[in-house]
Structure 1
Amino acid sequence: MKIKNWLVRTSPLLCTSLLLAGCQMFSPDREVGKTLADLPTATMPDAKNTVAVIDNKKIEASYQKALSAAEDPILRQQILARIADFEMARSEQAQLNANDSGHYFDKPIALYRELIALQEKSGQPVKGVELDQLRYKLAKALSMDSRGDEAASALDQLAKTAPASTYMGETQFRRAEKAFADGDYLAAEKHYKSVAEDKSNPLQQNALYMQGWAEFKRADYDLALQSFAKVADQLLTLAKKPEDVSQAVEQLSGAQKNMMEDTFHVMSLSFSYLEGAQSIIDLQKEMGDRVYEHLLYENLGQLYLEKKRYSDSAETYKSFVEHNPLSNFAPEFSIKMISVYEQGNFPSLILPAKQEYVQRYGISSTYWTQRNGVIGVNALNYLHKSLQELAEYEHAQAQELSGTNKSEAKVAFGRAATWYREFVATFPKDPKNPEMTFLLAESLSESGDYPQAISAYEQVAYQYQDKAHGADAGYSIVLLSNEMATGQALAETQKAAWQERKTNYALRFAQGYPADPRAAAVLTQAAQELLAQKRYAEAATVAEEIINLKPPAEAKLQFTAWLVLGHASFDDKNYAGAEKAYWQVLNLLPANAQTPGAPTAQQMRERIAASIYQQAQADLVLSQKDEAIKKLLRISDVAPDTDIAIKGRYDAGVYLIEQQKWSEAEQVYLSFRQQYPKHELTASIPAKMVLIYQNQSKWALAANELSIMERSSNDPNVKRQSLAMGAELYEKSGNKPMAIEQYQRYANEYPRPVAEAMEAEFHLAKLYGELQDTKKRQYWLQRMIDANASAGAQESDRTKYLAASAANEMADAPYKDFASTPLTLPLKQSLQRKRAALDKALKAQEAVLAYGVAEFTTQASYRIGDIYAQLSRDLMKSERPTNLDAAALEQYDLLLEEQAFPFEEKAIQIHQANAQRSTKGIYDQWVKRSFEELAKLLPARYKKPESILEVSNEIQ
């Protein structure tokens, strides 16, 4: 094929894209990188001045003259290139103006070849006269002059010598076009592919399209399909899901639509040459699913149909459905398949296909479920038509078999029922539904499926209230349900279930057809059966109907009805209604005492008591505690000796406590304990009385109740805790002897846990201190010290604190004893006594320090310092011998001072250490007193006026 015009292409789309790019491709002076900012400032032209018309001949003549004068080879090439371009432009214009197809490009061809020869000879590139550009222009000139082979040769040279040239995309495309026209499809495929792989090339899509054609021409249909699939991907890139494809197609240009139609057509041909629909599956396995998959199947199916290959067409549509069962297009493809069967005259396949259609898209299908029944108008209409046809066909078949083959007839009736049922379920508002439902019931009954037949009859009798068949349908239900309840084939549990259903049906029949003479008897029987089946609300409703019958029912029926109403109301948690009904039963009981199964009067009173109790519980749920308490206490008026009455009174006390009605709760539990002294609940009353008395500040009474608990309980923890709490309450009530007795018992009987025992010992020391019994107080103080010492793993901060407190108090006596021991003559003997007192005092204070309790550590530290200071002072104040002269006395004083000074220094050190605690945030009275002592002992350092640092907390 000769290319007469350089811009002629194999498709309109390709021609358009090249025309858009042509100005850039063939402009020798194109510039890249310019922006709007690079343009000069705009100015209005002078209206008087006119633009001179450029005379190309004069310009060319100027270039010719310059060429004659130029000696520089490079400059000569540049001028020659300009002349060649002028000749090219002149040739193009001449060709456009000509009426024949002669040769017009000889001059530019000769010039371009001369320039190429110069470039090849010199081997030196010249700006604006690049070799690849010259070959490209030569190929263009040859092509436009209809010298296709020479143009192809020029392009081959360009591809060979400048593979990185900017003209390679166009070059390869031209080479591909030439190869395709020559029938060299392998070479064409290669060249098209090199262009198609460059996504930035404006010819990329056309190259990809032609690559597919080259592969198709070579009968490599698998590769061709992949190439065409990529073309389709690009054309339909806006479609993100199958439903978008139609809209994406509408947005294509005319040329793009043509390319798309051609693409799908050649793909269909390729599929048909391979394995048909299976090839579509294989393609998607290779490349992944495509949003336009349905178009591939549709086009292939239509292609087969046009060729009257009906089986292949139907199989294609079927393949789509099987591989895309939930697609929005699946119903349409199924309809197309059935339509092909009809066109191809395959009657044996039509009925199964319609059955399959219903199964795939009917109300019980996954397709229907996932769409909530929204499957499209056309699909729904076809479903409506198919269901009617299938049901009518099977019903007619069953009726024909009824006279000859009963077993086959039952099967056929079952198939008819299937289609009737599906029609009714699918189209619940269809006008034909009453008739279709009755036919369904008849078919089910004939097929032996009584449960389903009952359901269908029920719709006819009570939902549609069909005038023609309603009564018969209702009666049929009762008969069939009785057959199921008494049948031998069912297990007992199943029979019981059917008995329950039979009750329902009988009741419904009696209520639906009240004029029936059996209505009253059916109601009475139904009420008792409902109660037995624990259907309490229904039983109560039926019982009330019997009670309210006009004229009234006979007495036995009324008695039974009140009893059923009472039991049903109670079990249904309508306890007020139950109480009312039971009172009626109690009133009617004498006349019906001989009735089989009638309760006794005591039993009815217990049922009344239970009803009242449950009413109280309901009040509690609603937080109506006052009403609940009244009801709980009222039970004793109805049945005082019943367990319910006892529990009701006990619970009333609990709720009075919750409401903090202490006095009322106290009276309830006192009377309860008096009336039921041996009842098992009585044992728990002391704990409640403790709470009641405590909240009334009746500490002694609360303590007495705890004593009862301590004596009566078998739980060691309860006994221990009761004893401890009782001691506290006796102490709180002011009964010190009882408090001491309880604390002593606790401390002696429960030495473990240590902390609790020490608390008791602490209270004992406190109480004996209040009674000024020093000896016993010191005994319990020492017990606290000993208990902590032996606590082991049970030692805690609290036990250490209590022990430290006791040790601190025990250290008071040696401290005071030391302070009161005088230094008298003879000094040696009194000093020995003082020293012994000192040792005891220091030992006692050091014992306090050993606990490390800050509250007592500062006091002990102060006292140790004070002891040394006191010793120093006492030495200096001690009596002087009377037989010393002045010099000897002075010497004596110096000796005393030497003895006293170390003790004073020791005192200073200890007080300083105690005072230092203030830097750690500890500043109590003992730290303060250490400072005061230091002011006396070192006045120059510590006796200074206090300076107050004013600090502002104001935010700057």
Structure 2
Amino acid sequence: MIRPFQSLCLSLLLAAPAVAQESFRVELGRDGETIGDMRPVFLTFESRPMPAISPSEVARRYHRLFRTSDEPEVRIDALNRLSNIRDRSGEDIGFSPAEEERVYSEAISSYESILARGSYGGRLDELLYQMAKAHALTGQQDASIQRLKQLVGLYPDSPLVPEARFRLAESAFAAGHYAEAESGYRQLIESDDSEEFSTKARYMLGWSQFKQGPSAWNRAAATFVEVLDEFLPQEQSLESVSESSVDTIDDTFRVLALMAARKGGPDTLIAWLDKAQPRPWEHLLFDRLADYYAIQGETSASVAANRAFIEYSPNHHSVPAFRLQVVDVWQAAGDPEQVRMARARFVESYSVNSAFAELKGGQQDKWRSYSRRLADYHYDLGARSAEQWQVANSESAFAQAATYYEGLAPRVGQSGEVLRLAGDARLQAGHFPRALDNFRKAAYEAPGYSEAADAAWAAVTLLRDGVDQQYEAAAFRPGLEDLSDEANRFNERFAGDNRGSGLMADLAARWLAAGNHERGLHYASLVLTALGASPAERYATWQVTARIRQKEGDYGLAERAWNQALDLAESDQLKDVTGDQLAAIRRQLATAVYRQGEVAASQGRLGEAVGHFRRVDSVLPGSEIAIRARYDAANTLLKASDWTAAVVDLQEFRNDHPQHELAAGISEKLVHAWIQSDKPTQAASELLQAAENHANPWQLRLRAAELLNEAGNVAERNALYRDYLATGPKAGDGSEHERLQTFRYRLVETGDDPDYWREALVQSELDSAWHSADTLGWASRSSLVLGARAAAAFTSISLSQPLEHSLARKQKALETARQRFLDAEALGGERVLSESLFRRAELYRGLAKDLMTSAVPSDLNELEAMQYQILLEEEAYPFEEKAIQLHTENHRRITSEGYDAWIGRSLGVLAELHPGRYERSVKWLSWNMESNDGV
């Protein structure tokens, strides 16, 4: 609790009061259980000038004078003098309490004697005052009050009136007449000469109002506030309160707190105060209210009182003490949760540096203690929640713990451990960037931290896990460059740490995976040159080096690195290398050798390439790569044009590995070798052999046919053509159509039954959508040949009786031949048109001639025979006219196509048919119009 009056009392003890200083003390009576039942009793002293002699000597003389004198006035004056001396000196001189009561009892008769005579040489106001005092001391209160009233009424301007009024009010208060007492005290306060009693009167005014019950408490509060304003007008007043005022001030605070507690608590206090005019003692009043509640066991109310002041005056210098007092109240109540919350509010309130700086030393220590306790509590809570799989609660608790640790770290001497805990809490909360920052600070910015290396390693681990994307936080995606920078920093600061070489080995592998070979080799070299690198780390790094060299095409260096890794793997230094891992290294080593062969082959060093390829089998015998290397050796021989050696290697490979996938391509390579060595028949034989097991055998057989054609083996070639055409192939494009027509044409030229292939050639060309000059020429010529054969068949048919039968056969033959010639025209165009026109015309002329020369039926008479002959002429005439028309059309082609033999033959026929028109000498001239220079 806040106890400012302890320091006040200490200052009073150190201050030496002046001899003439008056003293005023307030004591609560012992006649009640509560403040409302208690009655303050006052002893009043009057200040008078002290004599120049010892007070005790003066008192002794006046005491003797009182005893020896018989004069009432003398005795009364001696008594007054004794009272003044005692009051002024403060010494217990004169009469004992018992003697004083007896003396004043005797003095009463003197007072009454003087009053009875009606004459008195001194001041009557003083006489009334002394009589009132005498009555009071002898227990005659009513008489005392009566004298005081007389004094006030008769001598209103007497300097003794203020005290008389005070005692009248005091009497009313003692009698329980609180309203009357209030009036009396107020009248005294408002008088002009009440300075000596104003403070006492105001204090008692408040009590008078308080005694009248809750309805008058607002007035009482206003009065007590004035009392406090008078005692404590400034901030410095709190440090210089006189000892005699301590209890009065304390009682004032206490009664105000009591009234506020019974009336409405902090809100009532605030209503009694003026926020616009702060008072230096206000915080003590709120503190007293909080104390009152705490003593009564009303914890929540006590806390509310403390918080009320914080809200009422948030910038007051005592606010931290109030916040701490809230913690103490809850702690006394045994409520750990509320204690924790109060501590959290205190820590939060002074988390800013400027606010923390305003705390006193002990308060700063409290802040540090609370921060650490809260941080540890939330950290433990987060751990417990994590164990129970309460992920959200765990992350929230760890985040809160981290906040406390981070706030505490700059305000403790050794911050390393706190920062590391903050980093771990942030990590558990999923706040990875902030966790990284805390780890770094603990490692590199906390002097004297013994576990700095572990904190630095935590930062490295965090970044490494982030690079591996083990965290789901989208905001935390560190790159490999970040991890490398952190690793470099770790390696520089903690060079002797045995984790460094492993970290460098890991980075070498990572940069390899990232494709940055330069960085990968850099970190690998750090491991290979490190004295403390373990065999396992060197083993891993040699593999990284080998892979990088292999990827960069430095296969010789890669082979060296793989050999180093293999030596370590096969040594006793490594115990956990598995057979699969050894096999993998040997495969990589074989690959490096194999790649050297490839490079040599690509650079034209074919002999060296063959050597490397053949060396693979010694590294990894019987392996797939060794088989391929053997195959590539044969291919390299092909590339070197060493056909004989290549054929031998290829055939041996096929014999040794007939089921290998590469064996399927050997046949093609052998074909190539045979062709290149000018042995097409062997190449064709290889193709025909391969076709036996091929999914599309005709592809190979037709290639073989071409090779046989090249070799001049017509018989085998034609057999393949006939077998293939018998399958009924359909051309899918122009090239395929031309190839099929070529086969047919070659069969026409060299095979059996050429007319069959001519018909097939012509029909295929007519049915096709694709044509070429060759196919059209072959087809049109074949069609002419077929038409000539059909024309010969037509000519061989004689017209005999009955005419209609033979004529029908002859016309059919004519139509067959004519169609052949028309097909030839359709396929050959202008190239065959002259011959086709001639042959078609001759068909019609021959039919006309045969009709005219056909025999007349024997059963006709002469007239009928003549008529029959005329009919034949009529039938033959259109055919002859058709023949003339076709020959004439052929003749006319001279103007567009020029003269050829078939046109000449048409002219011969026309000359025969129309001698007058066509049978004449014709000389073909070329006429060149020359320019006439003279014109």
TM-score (norm. length: structure 2):
0.42
Kindly name which structure, 1 or 2, has the bigger radius of gyration based on alpha carbons: 2
TM-score (norm. length: structure 1):
0.41
| Structure of higher RCO (CA pairs closer than 8 Å, 6+ residues apart) | 2
